[in-house]
Amino acid sequence: MTLPDANWNYPTVIRFGAGRIAELPHACRELGLARPLLVTDPGLAAQPMIGEALERNAEAGIPAGLFCEIRPNPTGADLDRGVAAFAAGGHDGIIAFGGGAALDVGKTIAFMSGQSRPLWDFEDVADWWSRADPAGIAPVIAVPTTAGTGSEVGRAGVLLDEDAGVKKIIFHPKMMPRIVISDPELTIGLPPHVTAATGMDALSHCLEAWCAPGFHPMADGIAAEGIRLIHLWLRRAVEDGTDLDARGHMLIAASMGATAFQKGLGGMHALSHPIGALFDTHHGLTNAVLMPYVLDFNRPAIEDRLARLAAFVGLSNPSFDSFREWILTLRRDLDIPHTLTALGVTEDRLEQLSRMAEADPSAAGNPLPFAAAAAHQVLEAAMRG
pLDDT at 162: 93
For residue 292, the model assigns a pLDDT of 98
Distance CA 384, CA 236 (A): 30
Question: Which pLDDT score is estimated for 1?
Answer: 76
DSSP H helices, the chain, are: 24-30, 42-45, 48-59, 76-88, 100-112, 192-211, 217-239, 244-260, 267-279, 283-313, 320-333, 350-359, 372-384
Is 220 in contact with 308 (CB distance < 8 Å)?
no
Query: Beta 94-98 vs 65-67: how paired, if at all?
Result: unpaired
Per the CB < 8 A criterion, the answer to whether 11 and 69 are in contact is no
39-76 as b/e: b if 16+ CB within 10 A: bbbeebbeeebbeebbebbeeeebebbbbbebeebbbb
How high is the pLDDT of residue 360?
A: 95
User: Domains, the chain, ranges and CATH?
Assistant: 6-186 (3.40.50.1970), 191-384 (1.20.1090.10)
In this predicted structure, what is the pLDDT of residue 189? 85
Q: How many whole angstroms separate alpha carbon 158 and alpha carbon 85?
A: 20
Write down the pLDDT at residue 159: 95
pLDDT of residue 6: 87
Tens digit of pLDDT at every position of the chain (385 positions): 788 898 877 789 999 999 999 999 999 999 999 999 999 999 999 999 999 999 999 999 999 999 999 999 999 999 999 999 999 999 999 999 999 999 999 999 999 999 999 999 999 999 999 999 999 999 999 999 999 999 999 999 999 999 999 999 999 999 999 999 999 999 998 999 999 999 999 999 999 999 999 899 999 999 999 999 999 999 999 999 999 999 999 999 999 999 999 999 999 999 999 999 999 999 999 999 999 999 999 999 999 999 999 999 999 999 999 999 999 999 999 999 999 999 999 999 999 999 999 999 999 999 999 999 999 999 999 999 9
Write down the mean pLDDT value for the chain.
96
Write the DSSP assignment of 34-70 as a string of letters: SS-EEE--HHHHTSHHHHHHHHHHHHTT---EEE---
Give the model's pLDDT for residue 92. 97
User: Considering the entire predicted model, what is its pTM?
Assistant: 0.94
**What's the confidence (pLDDT) of residue 10?**
79
